[in-house]
Amino acid sequence: MKSITTVAQIILLFVLTPLFFSSCESEATTDTEDVAVVDVEAQIEALISQMTLEEKITMIHASSSFTSGGVERLGIPELVMSDGPHGVRHEHGRDWEKDLNVRDSSTYLPVGTALAATWNPELGYAFGSVLGSEANFRGKDVILGPGLNIIRSPLNGRNFEYLTEDPYLNAQMVVGYIKGVQDQGIAACAKHYVANNLEFEREKVNVEMSDRALHEIYLPGFKAAVQQGNVLTVMAAYNKFRGEYCAHNGFLLDDILKESFGFQGAVISDWNAVKGTMESVNVGMDLEMGTDLSMLGSGKELDYSKFHMGDTLITLVNTGVVDVAVIDEKVRRLLRVMFATNMFDERSPGAYNTKEHQQVARQIADEAIVLLKNDDKVLPLKKADIQTLAVVGANANRKHAGAGGSSQVKAYYEVTALEGLQNLAGESMTVNFSEGYQIKKDGGADAALIAEAVRNVAAADAAIYVGGWIHGYSDEWNDNALDAEATDKPDMNLPFGQDELIQALLKANPNTIIVLMGGGPVDMQAWKADAKGILQAWYPGMEGGNALASILFGLQSPSGKLPMTFPEKLSDSPAHKLAQFPVENLQMDYTDDIYVGYRYFDSYDVAPAFPFGHGLSYTTFSYEDLSIEKTGGLVTVSLKITNTGDMAGAEVVQLYVKDEDSTLKRPEKELKAFQKVLLQPGESKTIQLELKEDAFSYYDDTQNKWILEAGTFTLLAGSSSRDIRLEGQLDW
Ligand code: GLC
């Protein structure tokens, strides 16, 4: 529990009360919230006025691997942080000790791309609530998530941790997540601010981009996190932006984040992202974490006062080189986070590894799995027709929770795809597993493994292949395709000879179902036409195996939709076609500009393997009666959607806006609203989607502002970015 001793609280109240009233505006504040804010701000100012310079400096840098300094004299405890975005990471101890042999397992939620694939903002809130409750139970104050960097290249090793290629979907999913975490009394952390869209040399590369791309693609998720989610912390990214490290970047941290967006919380550096004292202290970098002390001549004792924003500042302030007001502002923001995380009040105990949390993990997995292809209605499988089920693929039998780097989770349990299928099979079905390929250095799909897998699927009544990316540790292999931090994939090819294996399986049993796990698209050209059933399962968390089995056997209909485009091949990806790849001289110029994902594929008329927003159901939906009403600055789009099949299912109705007359070039279409609708067979619902002026505006970088130009707009309603069912027009 984070609370100061009662004595200190009483002192605070006696000290603060007169201050509080003296600092109030002349007119009495009526709104209780305002009183609370003024009260907190008054308490913060009172604390700062009592602190010594040394105490202030203690607070603005790490005091251990995942804590920052407190001031015991004033009852200010340390701020305790923990990774990660989809589960509370295992304990590290104060100096990265491993395996402390403590009870630190936790709920392993589906990864970010899976959450985004649900297109269900309510699940974003539920996701955040679980994460916040478990962080609370484990005595944390800050959970270092969500990761919301835009998915720009399929090769980024950390795409699995993020959400989507689209700025609007990013914002919608991240706000609920943040509110869910922070309603548990825990601070969320929007990361990595900004343009950390590859892992290649992430601490050295410099990103250049236009103001249009910055404001229309890369900032909206962070802007929503601040202005709609009221996020309490933001993590400055490792990379440089326009020549300056993000952690030293006044344009990003002060001009945009704090002044333009109005961010009142604290900026935390990524671990070791601060590279210098004057560069960080004089910009809105509030808390230095993870600096590599060995680079600072610190001995084994890990002397945290040697951080860049450490004791060296005492002399700099005392000699007038640095204004103490700059330090005060950092402390002020950190104290705001502390008050907001109820550090000064009793916080509810939180909970972890509960059935309720596991059910949330299951529901997200249920709604995240995307049915990409279902020719000849090969799915769902009918349990009554199957005595023998073949399951092939090393990913079917692999636990993924502990992989990926800092987002790793010590899962309380993890149901693999194979276990989920075995659970569902029960006694009535024999499940035969073949590894098919081996995930290890110099592993792969050798002739013997392929032959054994072929025999298995040929002899079975139904066959399921589970393959895809390798969710490993970046230091595990240095030459294989990995979904992990600090590494990127060399290409989109399935690793370990899976293409050859899949082709052999489809030859032996054309109805073999292909399930892919991973953070994003793979090149499926070798077998996509021959496969009748293909699903994307991401890394679906601790209940993923059960969710996958229930969908494959039709206990529920799939409802996931792709949060990113799946290109046919890597060279079709705009980050590779319109921008320089691989990166040369550590310079990354985003010349793909605003044409990220479907904005490129649809504007340049390039057919993807599977489009943004795509996902099939076991039922079908009709779209009718589109109407558009404009009242002042509000546009309301109504349409009727009907479940025209014989199974319950949820459809994500997507609304895209096309500007027919813009002065500056705009993408073919842009997602500006969506709604997920669950319908019983034959059921209809008329839904309403609201668009405000910002849905029609674009960032004019010749005037450095958002503008809404008069003219004609087409509104496109559909089941994916390329499956438009209805459209209408309106004039502004
Ligand atoms: C890592 C990651 C960041 C993580 C931090 C602490 O390098 O970039 O996402 O929260 O360090 O582990």
Q: How far is the CA of 241 from the centre of ligand 1 (A)?
A: 18
Pick the closest to residue 519 from 492, 548, 551, 559 (CA basis).
Answer: 492
271 CB near ligand 1 (under 6 Å): yes
- pLDDT value of residue 96: 84
Using alpha carbons, list the distances in angstroms from residue 704 to 411, 496, 682, 690, 707: 47, 49, 50, 27, 9
Count of CA atoms in the C-beta half-sphere (13 A) of 652: 29
Phi then psi for residue 730, to 5 deg, are: -150, 155
Token couple for 534: 């293909």
Structure confidence by residue, pLDDT tens digits, 46-84: 999 999 999 999 999 999 999 999 999 999 999 999 999
Q: How far is the CA of 206 from the centre of ligand 1 (A)?
A: 19
Structure confidence by residue, pLDDT tens digits, 425-438: 999 999 999 999 99
**pLDDT exceeds cutoff 50 at 484:** yes
Using alpha carbons, list the distances in angstroms from residue 534 to 13, 427, 437: 62, 27, 19
- Cα–Cα–Cα angle for 148, 151, 155, nearest 5°? 130
406 CB near ligand 1 (under 6 Å): yes
- For a mutational test of ligand 1's pocket, the pick from 198, 485, 488, i.e. the residue with the most ligand atoms closer than 8 A to its C-beta, is 485
Residue nearest atom 3 of ligand 1, based on CA coordinates:
270
Strand, helix or coil for residue 447? helix
Residue 127, exposed/middle/buried by CB under 10 A (0-12, 13-18, 19+)? buried
Contact of 78 with 4, CB cutoff 8 Å: no
Angle between helical axes of 32-50 and 324-340 (0-180°, round to 10):
130
Tokens 């370990």 identify what position? 496
191 CB near ligand 1 (under 6 Å): yes
Pick the closest to residue 342 from 475, 182, 515 (CA basis).
Answer: 182
Where is pLDDT greater, at 122 or 24?
A: 122
Contact of 611 with 721, CB cutoff 8 Å: yes
Token couple for 287: 């808390």
- For a mutational test of ligand 1's pocket, the pick from 144, 193, 203, 487, i.e. the residue with the most ligand atoms closer than 8 A to its C-beta, is 144
Token couple for 207: 């990103």
Find the mean pLDDT for residues 483-510: 95
Which atom from ligand 1 is nearest to the alpha carbon of 147? 9
**pLDDT exceeds cutoff 70 at 198:** yes
d(Cα 442, Cα 545) in Å, to the nearest integer?
27
pLDDT confidence bin for 479, thresholds 50/70/90: low
User: Could you please report the per-residue DSSP string of 28-71?
Assistant: PP-SHHHHHHHHHHHHHHHHHHH--HHHHHHHTBBSSSSEE--B
Contact of 199 with 488, CB cutoff 8 Å: yes
66 CB near ligand 1 (under 6 Å): no
**pLDDT exceeds cutoff 90 at 475:** no
Pick the closest to residue 392 from 451, 472, 477 (CA basis).
Answer: 451
Tokens 């990214």 identify what position? 237
Residues labelled catalytic = 270
Which atom from ligand 1 is nearest to the alpha carbon of 89? 12
Pick the closest to residue 635 from 715, 698, 706 (CA basis).
Answer: 715
Find the mean pLDDT for residues 452-481: 85
How many Å is the maximal CA-CA distance in the chain? 84
- pLDDT value of residue 23: 34
Which atom from ligand 1 is nearest to the alpha carbon of 144? 10
Q: Please give the CATH superfamily to which domain 621-731 belongs.
A: Immunoglobulins (2.60.40.10)
pLDDT confidence bin for 140, thresholds 50/70/90: very high
Find the mean pLDDT for residues 133-140: 96
65 CB near ligand 1 (under 6 Å): no
Where is pLDDT greater, at 31 or 507?
A: 507
- pLDDT value of residue 31: 61
pLDDT confidence bin for 17, thresholds 50/70/90: very low
- pLDDT value of residue 444: 87
Q: How far is the CA of 271 from the centre of ligand 1 (A)?
A: 6
**pLDDT exceeds cutoff 50 at 602:** yes
Which atom from ligand 1 is nearest to the alpha carbon of 66? 6
d(Cα 449, Cα 154) in Å, to the nearest integer?
29
Which atom from ligand 1 is nearest to the alpha carbon of 202? 8
Find the mean pLDDT for residues 597-614: 98
d(Cα 548, Cα 645) in Å, to the nearest integer?
22
Which atom from ligand 1 is nearest to the alpha carbon of 83? 10
83 CB near ligand 1 (under 6 Å): yes
Using alpha carbons, list the distances in angstroms from residue 602 to 152, 185, 546, 615: 15, 43, 36, 18
Q: DSSP E strands: which ranges in 313-429?
A: 370-374, 388-392
Q: Which residues pair with 233 in a beta bridge?
A: 189, 266
Buried b (16+ CB within 10 A) or exposed e, 209-247: bbebbbbbbbbbbbbbbbeebbbbbbbbbbbbbeeebbb
Q: What is the mean pLDDT of the chain?
A: 93
Residue nearest atom 7 of ligand 1, based on CA coordinates:
271
Which atom from ligand 1 is nearest to the alpha carbon of 161? 9
For the chain, what percent of residues have pLDDT higher than 70?
Answer: 92
Q: How far is the CA of 322 from the centre of ligand 1 (A)?
A: 29
Q: How far is the CA of 675 from the centre of ligand 1 (A)?
A: 33
What are the structural domain ranges in the chain? 7-83+118-340, 358-564, 621-731
Token couple for 43: 């308490």
Count Cβ atoms below 10 Å from residue 644 Cβ, excluding itself. Answer: 14
Token couple for 347: 């916080």
Which amino acid is residue 216, in one-letter code?
E
Token couple for 520: 């994003």
Q: How far is the CA of 492 from the centre of ligand 1 (A)?
A: 25
Q: Which residues pair with 71 in a beta bridge?
A: 76
- pLDDT value of residue 293: 83
Find the mean pLDDT for residues 126-142: 97
- For a mutational test of ligand 1's pocket, the pick from 86, 161, 406, i.e. the residue with the most ligand atoms closer than 8 A to its C-beta, is 406
Spatial strand order in the sheet of 79-82: 67-68, 79-82, 142-143
Q: How far is the CA of 191 from the centre of ligand 1 (A)?
A: 9
d(Cα 425, Cα 715) in Å, to the nearest integer?
46
Q: Which residues pair with 79 in a beta bridge?
A: 68
Domain 7-83+118-340 matches domain 621-731 at the CATH topology level: no
Task: Tell me the whole-structure pTM to 2 decimals.
Answer: 0.94
Which atom from ligand 1 is nearest to the alpha carbon of 196? 8
pLDDT confidence bin for 7, thresholds 50/70/90: very low
Phi then psi for residue 499, to 5 deg, are: -60, -50
Count of CA atoms in the C-beta half-sphere (13 A) of 599: 25
- pLDDT value of residue 97: 80
pLDDT confidence bin for 551, thresholds 50/70/90: very high
**pLDDT exceeds cutoff 60 at 207:** yes
199 CB near ligand 1 (under 6 Å): no
Residue 516: its H or E element: strand 513-517
Residue nearest atom 4 of ligand 1, based on CA coordinates:
406
240 CB near ligand 1 (under 6 Å): no
Q: How far is the CA of 291 from the centre of ligand 1 (A)?
A: 12
Angle between helical axes of 417-425 and 544-552 (0-180°, round to 10):
50
Q: How far is the CA of 225 from the centre of ligand 1 (A)?
A: 19
Residue nearest atom 11 of ligand 1, based on CA coordinates:
271
Find the mean pLDDT for residues 357-368: 98
Residue nearest atom 6 of ligand 1, based on CA coordinates:
271
Structure confidence by residue, pLDDT tens digits, 532-548: 999 999 999 999 999 99
DSSP character at residue 561: -
Q: How far is the CA of 418 from the centre of ligand 1 (A)?
A: 31
161 CB near ligand 1 (under 6 Å): no
Q: Is the peptide bond before 84 cis (omega within 30 degrees of 0)?
A: yes
d(Cα 536, Cα 371) in Å, to the nearest integer?
7
Token couple for 105: 């397992």
270 CB near ligand 1 (under 6 Å): yes
Structure confidence by residue, pLDDT tens digits, 557-579: 999 999 999 999 999 999 999 99
Structure confidence by residue, pLDDT tens digits, 661-681: 999 999 999 999 999 999 999
Q: How far is the CA of 290 from the centre of ligand 1 (A)?
A: 9
* 7-83+118-340 fold: TIM Barrel (3.20.20)
Q: What CATH number was assigned to the domain covering residues 358-564?
A: 3.40.50.1700
Using alpha carbons, list the distances in angstroms from residue 192 to 189, 273, 491: 9, 11, 24
Strand, helix or coil for residue 148? coil
- pLDDT value of residue 34: 66
158 CB near ligand 1 (under 6 Å): no
